[in-house]
Structure 1
């Protein structure tokens, strides 16, 4: 097999992309290093010239996911406050539609009882996401968009829980294309809750 030589950094990105693509089509726990290699026309041995073991691959996959999602949340358009929260939610769901393997990977890592570098990165992703949403809800409270008695941290957890439920339902039914429409209804429900009693 003949492949163009790539710098290690680029080859690792290619391997990560292969894992994410495979995760959209099959059970995460059944993905093998041989399948990852075959998907990008490499030998299995070549994979482990870039990663010391399979757990290192998963850590890089989660690292890419954390960095990419956080970057999209930070780039979401909209003024501060609830408009920005809604834009962040839309950015998240667009990301899921583009990479449906990502929520499967996150769920697999977060459900694992054993600590691992990949699980730690998944937790960092969730914590960073919650912090970004809570910050915008705080801005909304300060601007009078929300009831002053709303706890921003709790409201952020509430919203993320609803988004996760929406994504899980879409994955279960295979209807990812409808996420953005459903998210509008979900956000309206959320907004009513945090505005109540203003």
Structure 2
């Protein structure tokens, strides 16, 4: 799903530009409301998939699924913003698998650190 999302952005580079432009407008316009609803639905989908992974023993049982979903979406958003800024949106495709591997590795082992 992560790689499919990045691939979609690479094939449709105008979409992030339009979205970023809409997000900069003041107020709660219709486009911004649709983006918020879509993002919330996507985040809940990711949370559901993470919970299923926990139930199947593929993800550490003490994983904070809400935080992991935010991290997942933030990784994609960060890649997209960097691609838009650099003007090289195609560079996302070879980078995305590396980013996802790091995300996935974090789900396999969690550590409790009292300093965080």
Q: TM-score range by the shorter chain?
A: 0.7 to 0.9
Note the 1:34-183 alignment, pairs <5 A: 88-183=1-96
1:64-111 per-residue CA deviation (whole Å, 9 max, x = no partner) reads xxxxxxxxxxxxxxxxxxxxxxxx111111111111111112122223
RMSD of aligned residue pairs (Cα, Å): 1.5
Task: Give the match for residue 189 of structure 1.
Answer: 102
For residues 125 and 166 of structure 1, the distance between their equivalents in structure 2, rounded to whole angstroms, comes to 19
Q: CA deviation at 1:112?
A: 2.6
Structure 1: runs of 5 or more not aligned:
1-87
For residues 77 and 110 of structure 2, the distance between their equivalents in structure 1, rounded to whole angstroms, comes to 27
Q: CA deviation at 1:162?
A: 1.0
Higher relative contact order (CA 8 A, sep 6+): 2
For residues 109 and 131 of structure 1, the distance between their equivalents in structure 2, rounded to whole angstroms, comes to 23
For residues 132 and 192 of structure 1, the distance between their equivalents in structure 2, rounded to whole angstroms, comes to 20
Runs (4+) of structure 1 exceeding 4 A deviation are: none
Contact 1:140 1:146 in 2 (8 A): yes
TM-score (norm 1): 0.53
Structure 2: runs of 5 or more not aligned:
112-116
Task: Tell me which structure has the larger Cα radius of gyration.
Answer: 1
For residues 11 and 18 of structure 2, the distance between their equivalents in structure 1, rounded to whole angstroms, comes to 14
**Do the aligned partners of residues 197 and 155 (structure 1) sit closer, same or farther apart at CA in structure 2, a change above 3 Å counting?**
closer
Note the 1:3-42 alignment, pairs <5 A: none
